[in-house]
Amino acid sequence: MVSLQQVTKVFENRPAVNNISFTVSAGETFILLGTSGCGKTTTLKMINRLTEATEGTILVNGKNILEQPATILRRNIGYVVQHNTLFPHYSVAENIAVVPNLLLWDKEKTNARINKLIDKLHLSPNLLGVYPGQLSGGEAQRVNLARALVADPPILLMDEPFGALDTITRSAIRKEFAQLDELKRKTIVMVTHDVQEAFEMGSRICLMDKGRIMQTGKPAELLFHPANDFVRDFFSESWLQLCFMVLKLTDVWPFLLNEPASEYANYEEVSPAITLSKAMQLTKEKNEKKTLLVVNDNTTDKKTITGEGILYAFSEYQRNQ
């Protein structure tokens, strides 16, 4: 658990972060989102005391971070940044082993953990002996993450972790990360200015502007119940796309019409837990025949639905918000 209570950071008489409060529960992925200079990185760095807050209280797992030495605090907090922060004269294996060595793990335990992690992160074992300068951007970022995860810290701070990667690598690595069971158990605070990334990864999003919090909430809350004009305007450009990314068939379930199955030649069995955008993708015509989704699992009634039906259900859902 990470909790900020009325936290302010002043640089040169100017507040970079201005009286912000939020609590991140265990296991949550909490996103700090906003344009350049709004105070996201400063907020993140105050949590592991790379920057000291000017005012306010920060609790990590219920304990005031000022009541323990920064080095001890940081053992429980992994930290991944955008830039390649690997030591250039250490091999990949040596870079990942930095924290285990500090914790005096024996060689066998360290090696077993490193091998497990590189496998999970889809890194070739052949890379363990090479130096960071020989890695691609995507490989370097996977090694950065392995280094942050190696001692299994319960909290992970990530500052634009995919920022230095090209769009395709970025999207692929993001999807891999989202599926890592290592990450699912962690409390994550992540900084991004990429709206799509925020909605794809965040269980809650904190939108900031000029050092202040404009709104904190679940992705759907920000889209359907914006707290003010700033929040509404911030998402207006990609609003529809974000809605389809965020909403699942279960969310619009009462508005989904059950179509007669006999008229359709293509069928696809899907779970009601898929997003509207995934469902729309699956209803694309194949061989000039529309595909019907047969939504079925044990938690809902079975329905047969079409792409048009999903669009209709979305507009009804929107009207009811």
Q: Please identify which residue in 4, 7, 16, 207 interacts with ligand ATP, judged by CB under 6 A.
A: 16
Smallest distance from ligand ATP to CB 270, Å: 37
What does the H/E/C string look like for the chain?
CEEEEEEEEEECCEEEEEEEEEEECCCCEEEEECCCCCCHHHHHHHHCCCCCCCEEEEEECCEEHHHCCHHHHHHCEEEEECCCCCCCCCCHHHHHCHHHHHCCCCHHHHHHHHHHHHHHCCCCHHHHHCCHHHCCHHHHHHHHHHHHHCCCCCEEEEECCCCCCCHHHHHHHHHHHHHCHHHHCCEEEEEECCHHHHHHHCCEEEEEECCEEEEEECHHHHHHCCCCHHHHHHHHCCHHHHHHHHCECCCCHHHCCCCCHHHCCEEEEECCCCEHHHHHHHCCCECCECEEEEECCCCCCCEEECHHHHHHHHHHHHHCC
Tell whether residue 18 is a contact of ligand ATP (CB under 6 A).
no
Which of 7, 40, 100, 306 binds ligand ATP (CB under 6 A)? It is 40
| Among the residue ranges 10-18, 137-145, 268-276, 311-319, the one whose residues contact ligand ATP (CB under 6 A) | 10-18
27 vs 37, which CB is nearer to ligand ATP?
A: 37
**Backbone phi, psi, residue 298, to 5°:** -80, -5
Q: Which is nearer to ligand ATP, 128 or 205 (CB)?
A: 205
How far apart are alpha carbons 109 and 93 in whole angstroms? 13
Q: What are phi and psi of 317, to 5 degrees?
A: -60, -45
From 29-37, 54-62, 138-146, 212-220, span contacting ligand ATP (CB under 6 A): 29-37
Tell me: does residue 13 bind ligand ATP (CB under 6 A): no
Q: Which region, judged by CB under 6 A, interacts with ligand ATP, from 38-46, 61-69, 94-102, 263-271?
A: 38-46
Structure token pair of residue 40: 């996201």
Residue 41 touches ligand ATP, criterion: CB under 6 A: yes
Which of 7, 33, 34, 79 is the binder for ligand ATP (CB under 6 A)? 34
Nearer to ligand ATP, 82 or 144 (CB): 82
* 75/210 with CB nearer ligand ATP: 210
Instruction: Rank residues 11 and 267 by Cβ distance to ligand ATP and give the closer one.
Output: 11
| 46 lies in the site for ligand ATP, by CB under 6 A | no
Closest to ligand ATP by CB, 43 vs 306, is 43
Q: CB nearer to ligand ATP: give 4 or 121.
A: 4
Distance (Å, whole) CA 81 – CA 44: 11
Q: Least Å distance between CB 34 and ligand ATP?
A: 6
Number of shown-chain residues binding ligand ATP (CB under 6 A): 12
Closest CA to 149 of 180, 175, 125: 180
| Closest distance of CB 239 from ligand ATP, Å | 22
Footprint (CB under 6 A) of ligand ATP, residues 186-225: 193
Contact residue for ligand ATP among 3, 24, 30, 39 (CB under 6 A): 39
Binding site for ligand ATP (CB under 6 A): 11-12, 16, 34, 36-42, 193
